[in-house]
Structure 1
Amino acid sequence: MRSFRLLGATLFVAVLVMLTVVLAIPYARQIFFAASVPRVIQPRGDLSSLENSTVELFEQASPSVVQVVALGEGRSRLPGSDDSPGMESGTGFLWDLAGNIVTNAHVVSGARKVAVRTASGSMLRAEVTGTAPNYDLAVVRVLSMTSLPSPLPVGSSADLKVGQSVYAIGNPFGLDQSLTTGVISALRRRMPTAGGREVSNVIQTDAAINPGNSGGPLLDSAGRLIGVTTAIISPSGVNAGIGFAIPVDVVNRVVPELIRAGRVPTPGIGIIAASEALATGIGVEGVVIVRTVPGSPADRVGLKGIDAGDGTVGDVIVAVEGKPVQRLSDLTEVLESVKVPGRIQLTVEHNGSSRSVSVDVVDIGGG
């Protein structure tokens, strides 16, 4: 019996000791292992070549990127526009050493006052030089000439490849000088603009583009401008991996016109075209002419629209300059490559027969 009592007492003491040790461990750790002084910094070694190239790209390009703030009412907006009551905030970038800055037309549309905040934090007054709603592009010029950084180098959008790396710099949600990276997700997208037309060959990217990025540069891995970010597709209004940029080849054609004349000619032949849905519904491939504008080049050469009496389809444009036309954007893409005034050759079908028609290209206004 005595031995059992001794064993029980021994077990009790052992359990008590173990419980004491368990309870004391946190206090012992705090006393002996707590980092109560700054820890030693461990060297990380060199950045990877990819990281170095991204850092270098941002450091070279970011000084040329600015925030554009426009005050005013009644401006038109696009999906993904950066709106708050009475104020539009977007991004822009320096185009030349004269202080001309490129941004989106929807950022400054209807603005009474425009201000630019540079990468260094300086606030500069600016004025709108010109807008091109048909391309969602605008130029503003700073009024006080300070020391300006170098303009961004310009690349080409003609040789872009799906999958190549891209970099966007902008001011999402007012957070200036933000860099996002991604790839070109698709090419030759079509995007409607506030001017009532479509921009063709638009770049689609998964680089994060959010409200405030509008008008900012999209760069390739060489730091060259390849597009101007303009819109996102997102039910929530924030980045969902689908953003768009106006191709630089369009920008490089439109911006000099805005600087020189304040507007860009809108090349056209004077037709009202049916929607793609209507053309598909009636089994027609091409641009179905609904009607021609009286006195326009199309009217003068005798192009006919849909018969208002019985709804019979009139002329359908199936080719331009020998290239097949499947939709209106195919036609406008060729029209925009023609210097106004100019002339183009159309292939038109009517009641199963085709003919070739030479039509003048004129400035139809609107942007």
Structure 2
Amino acid sequence: MRKKRGLWLAMAFLAVTLAGCAPCGLAAAAGRAASPTQPAAGLSAPLPEVRGSLPNVAEQEKLLVDLYKRTSPAVVNVQVTKRSQGTFRFDPQQGEPPDEFVHGQGSGFVIDREAHIVTNHHVVEGAEEVLVIYSDGDQARGQVVGADADSDLAVIKADHLPAGVAPLELSDTDQVEVGQAAIAIGNPFGLQGTLTTGIVSAVGRTLPLGRESSSIGGRFSIPRMIQTDAAINPGNSGGPLLDSRGRVIGINTAINAQNGVNSGVGFAVPVSLIRRVVPRLIQEGRYVYPWLGISGRDVNPDIADAMGLPSRRGALVVEVVKSSPAERAGLRPSTRRVTAHDTELEVGGDVITAIDDQPVRQFDDLLVYLIENASVGQTVRLTIIRDGQPQVVPVTLAERPTD
């Protein structure tokens, strides 16, 4: 597992050979079934049934039961074998040297009848072997046919699809609303076929979960992520987040936690990105993103006052990457620093207020537009404010750097 700014990628490693033990709650080897939970002493008899349940509660229960029966066969356990990245110091007196491989697992779901399975990139990254386990225990060998670190998406091709397994239906992320039901199915801690429920807590989150690039000095961000309080834990990575009709609205990816377990704040890559990226991964094995080549931040009242801006909305250009499309187009980065309320701010750069006549109220708007509406080689028109005056700058987009 990797931790970044309090975010844990929800993948479970089944065996850590250096320590010779497994994380709490995990079987020590791939494929070992979890021991059934034993009843507490003195509670051998079942608790009495609650009578007089409200009709809407019974309806909700039936909805979940039916949804699970219909969708769970398409949710799989993805088990991977990876070569260890650690450096071991072997002491002959301690016995045999440790295994050079580690075994991890995550979740995934069937997306078509050709046995393509969607999961997270971080689940299969570096995998030398992939095993797909269906809900009925049927096992298939898998091959990674495409992966994209910048969306944390990957596609596995299983060697067969069991009879009767229907692909999950994809929803439209634009219809996701805060407060609607959110249902996660996956394999937390190796417990296959686990269903948890909650709500959509927020939409439109942008998180730095993409590939780390030396060209930009950080990670690429994933926009429009869905936040949910449905329990997501290590092993849930790659599993579907469903709406109340059983349609995929996201793919469970990360949790915000200090100890790597559910805290009620989980994140899912939105289905809009799945729709855009996955077909390319199946056809070409990779996805190409258009790139502008700037870093920036939202305009706030302090920045607006310091720069004399007519509005407190927009995206301030803080840095321009060398030899990028932005530099070639002449975009200007911040030139000075000011202090406001004991906070140092970079100001003086171009402020982007629109792209192709679409308003840019915050920096995320720029990122979303480029991912969802632009392509490599396309020329976009940026409306900017420079030295207090509006102007339009054409920029021809390039491919994101691969370093």
**Counterpart residue number, 2:315:** 286
For 2:295, give the aligned amino acid: A
Counterparts in 2 of 1:162-181, with a 5 A limit?
162-181=178-197
Per the TM alignment, residue 317 of structure 1 is displaced from its structure 2 partner at its CA by 2.3
Instruction: Indicate the percent of aligned positions where both proteins have the same amino acid.
Output: 39
TM-score computed with the length of structure 2 as normaliser = 0.71
**Counterpart residue number, 1:265:** 288
**Counterpart residue number, 1:68:** 78
Per the TM alignment, residue 292 of structure 1 is displaced from its structure 2 partner at its CA by 3.6
Say which of 35, 58, 70 aligns to 2:68: 58
2: distance between equivalents of 1:348 and 1:94?
44
The yes-or-no answer on 1:190 pairing with 2:206 is: yes
Closer, same or farther in 2 for the Cα pair 1:141/1:317, shift >3 Å? same
**Counterpart residue number, 1:256:** 279
Closer, same or farther in 2 for the Cα pair 1:145/1:162, shift >3 Å? closer
1:292/1:304 contact within 8 Å kept = no
Counterparts in 2 of 1:102-141, with a 5 A limit?
102-141=118-157
Per the TM alignment, residue 175 of structure 1 is displaced from its structure 2 partner at its CA by 0.2
Closer, same or farther in 2 for the Cα pair 1:279/1:319, shift >3 Å? farther
For 2:320, give the aligned amino acid: R
Per the TM alignment, residue 281 of structure 1 is displaced from its structure 2 partner at its CA by 6.8
Say which of 385, 388, 392 aligns to 1:352: 388
SS of equivalent residue, structure 1 residue 55: helix
User: Greater shift after overlay, 322-331 or 232-241?
Assistant: 322-331
1:158-206 Cα shifts (integer Å, max 9, x gaps): 0112111111100000000000011111111112113122112111111
1: distance between equivalents of 2:282 and 2:245?
26
2: distance between equivalents of 1:185 and 1:145?
34
Per the TM alignment, residue 51 of structure 1 is displaced from its structure 2 partner at its CA by 1.0
Counterparts in 2 of 1:1-367, with a 5 A limit?
48-73=58-83, 86-144=102-160, 146-147=162-163, 149-195=165-211, 196-269=219-292, 271-274=293-296, 285-294=314-323, 296-306=324-334, 313-337=348-372, 338-366=374-402
Closer, same or farther in 2 for the Cα pair 1:349/1:70, shift >3 Å? same
1: distance between equivalents of 2:72 and 2:328?
52
2: distance between equivalents of 1:73 and 1:329?
37
2:201/2:228 contact within 8 Å kept = yes
Per the TM alignment, residue 324 of structure 1 is displaced from its structure 2 partner at its CA by 3.5
For 1:362, give the aligned amino acid: A
2:77/2:186 contact within 8 Å kept = yes
Per the TM alignment, residue 68 of structure 1 is displaced from its structure 2 partner at its CA by 0.7
**Counterpart residue number, 1:35:** none
For 1:318, give the aligned amino acid: T
For 2:256, give the aligned amino acid: I
SS of equivalent residue, structure 2 residue 230: coil
User: Greater shift after overlay, 113-122 or 327-336?
Assistant: 327-336
Structure 1: 5+ residue runs without aligned partners?
Answer: 1-37, 76-84
2: distance between equivalents of 1:168 and 1:236?
21
For 2:198, give the aligned amino acid: G
Q: CA RMSD in A?
A: 3.0
**Counterpart residue number, 1:30:** none
* Structure showing greater Rg: 1
Closer, same or farther in 2 for the Cα pair 1:58/1:333, shift >3 Å? same
2: distance between equivalents of 1:66 and 1:204?
23
Q: How many matched pairs?
A: 316
2:318/2:347 contact within 8 Å kept = no
Counting helix residues as a fraction of each chain, which structure ranks higher?
1
1: distance between equivalents of 2:235 and 2:111?
19
1:229/1:244 contact within 8 Å kept = yes
For 1:187, give the aligned amino acid: V
SS of equivalent residue, structure 2 residue 368: helix
User: Greater shift after overlay, 46-55 or 247-256?
Assistant: 46-55
Structure 2: 5+ residue runs without aligned partners?
Answer: 1-44, 86-100, 212-218, 308-313, 337-345
Per the TM alignment, residue 154 of structure 1 is displaced from its structure 2 partner at its CA by 1.3
1:70/1:87 contact within 8 Å kept = yes
